[in-house]
Amino acid sequence: MSICCITYNHENFIAEAIQSFLMQKTNFKFDIIIGDDCSSDKTQSIIKFYSETYPGKIKLISTPTNSGPHKNLINCIAHCKGKYIALCEGDDYWTNEYKLQKQVDFLENNADFVICCHYHKVININNETLYVHPNPKPLVHTYTDLLAGKQEETKTATVVYRNTPETIRLFSKPWFFECHAGDKMFKLWATQRTGGKIYVIPEVMSCYRNHKGGIWSMINTKVRMEMVISDFNLIIKNFTYSAIAKKKLLLLYIKRYLLFELQNKRFRKAYDTLKYLL
């Protein structure tokens, strides 16, 4: 098994992430691949300290220039050789020492699932809890569910997936580099291309951190909505779906995004999307 961690300027957080990887108790071997995207702070020196302290366990993949999260992820995954790959960004961390064992056990015993996730907690810079589900229950997400915008409790730091040629073929698609939520595109791709489902274990086993340096969590609300709509358009143009699903996508667009488009005078963009779905 391989753990894939991408990081950039996470000097205040990366040690906690690495420690949460190292604490995992498993009956299988795993390696830790960390892709540092040319951090300008002390992130890389912290990773080097751990890689030297645990020789052969942690591999640092560094880039000479900042290439962005998508290329960093692809580069990092290319070095992951395990049957399964676990994802976690450098500003998040795991909280359960048996997390990987539980997820791998599930996938080993359930061939019709391609991804296994679990519940998570959202915290701020002071480690104060901003969100945690009060009553976790098992969840199953299909490709159709994801297409309709349902992806509860599948944050990146919760993901363990089957490392197959089909799941990573997404990264050769030029349009992948245009998306903003690469994790969402990956989940859609993996479930569509393999026919597998996503299972969510009803346990909180990771922390997602909201902070100013976060790629997604602290983006301006308007800008974030523009990114979400841009990704929506990539989805409807690059994934296949039935006529019934197409109608659901149209209703989803009208319900969630159309008013925003009109209020911000994005008339041409709204017209193009509606025309594509009608």
pLDDT of residue 211: 76
**Beta strand pairing call for 58-62 and 31-36:** parallel
Q: Does residue 66 sit in the same domain as residue 175? A: yes
Among residues 189, 209, 229, which one ends one of the domains? 209
In a domain, 187, yes or no: yes
Determine how β-strand 84-87 pairs with β-strand 129-132. unpaired
pLDDT at position 60 is 97
Give 265-274's long-range contacts (Cβ < 8 A, gap of 24+). Answer: 269/229, 272/233, 273/229, 273/232, 273/233, 273/236, 274/250
This prediction's pTM:
0.94
Shared domain for 229 and 148, answered yes or no, is no
Same domain, 98 and 236: no
Give CA–CA dist 174/196, Å, rounded. Answer: 24
- Name 87's bridge partners: 4
Q: Are 275 and 236 in contact (CB under 8 A)?
A: no
Domain assignment present for 244? yes
Q: Residue 214 falls within a domain, yes or no?
A: no
- Let me know whether 193 and 79 are in one domain: yes
In a domain, 215, yes or no: no
pLDDT over 70 at 133, yes or no: yes
Residues 57, 195: one domain?
Answer: yes
Our measurement of the distance from residue 35's CA atom to the centroid of its chain's CA atoms, rounded to an integer in Å, reads: 15
Which of 153, 185, 209 is the last residue before a domain boundary?
Answer: 209
Dist CA 227 CA 18 (whole Å): 30
CA dist 116 and 157 (Å) reads 11
Residue 192, CB half-sphere, CA atoms under 13 Å: how many? 19
Position 169 scores a pLDDT of 94
pLDDT tens per residue across span 199-246: 999 999 999 998 776 555 556 889 999 999 999 999 999 999 999 999
Q: If DSSP states are collapsed to H, E and C, what string results for 39-79?
A: CCCCHHHHHHHHHHHCCCCEEEEECCCCCCHHHHHHHHHCC
The verdict on 195 and 153 lying in the same domain is yes
Average pLDDT over residues 267-276: 97
Q: For residues 72 and 8, is the Cβ–Cβ distance under 8 A?
A: yes
- Per residue in 14-67, pLDDT (tens digit) is 999 999 999 999 999 999 999 999 999 999 999 999 999 999 999 999 989 999
Residue 137: count other Cβ atoms within 10 Å of its Cβ.
9
Q: Is there a single domain that holds both residue 262 and residue 155?
A: no
Spell out the residues 6+ positions from residue 208 whose beta carbon is closer than 8 angstroms to its own. Answer: 92, 120, 121, 122, 123, 155, 157, 217
Q: What is the CATH number of the domain that holds 145?
A: 3.90.550.10
Tell me, yes or no, whether 170 lies in a domain.
yes
Q: Is residue 191 assigned to a domain?
A: yes
| Structural domain includes residue 263 | yes
| Domain span including residue 253 | 221-277
> Which residue in this structure is represented by tokens 């523009």?
226
Q: Mark whether 41 and 118 lie in a shared domain.
A: yes
The last residue of one of the domains, among 174, 189, 209, is 209
Residue 16 lies in a domain: yes
Rounded Cα gap, residues 154 and 139, in angstroms = 10
Distance separating alpha carbons of residues 116 and 40, to the nearest angstrom: 34
Domain count, the chain: 2
φ, ψ of residue 264 in degrees (nearest 5): -100, 15
What would the pLDDT profile of 171-188 be if each residue is shown by its tens digit? 999 999 999 999 999 999
What's residue 214's pLDDT? 58
- Looking at the fold, whether 164 and 252 belong to one and the same domain comes out as no
Residues 137 and 234 in one domain: no
Question: Do 126 and 238 share a domain, yes or no?
Answer: no
Task: Kindly state whether residues 131 and 226 are assigned to the same domain.
Answer: no
Buried b (16+ CB within 10 A) or exposed e, 41-77: eebbebbeebbeeeeeebbbbbbeeebebbbbbbbbb
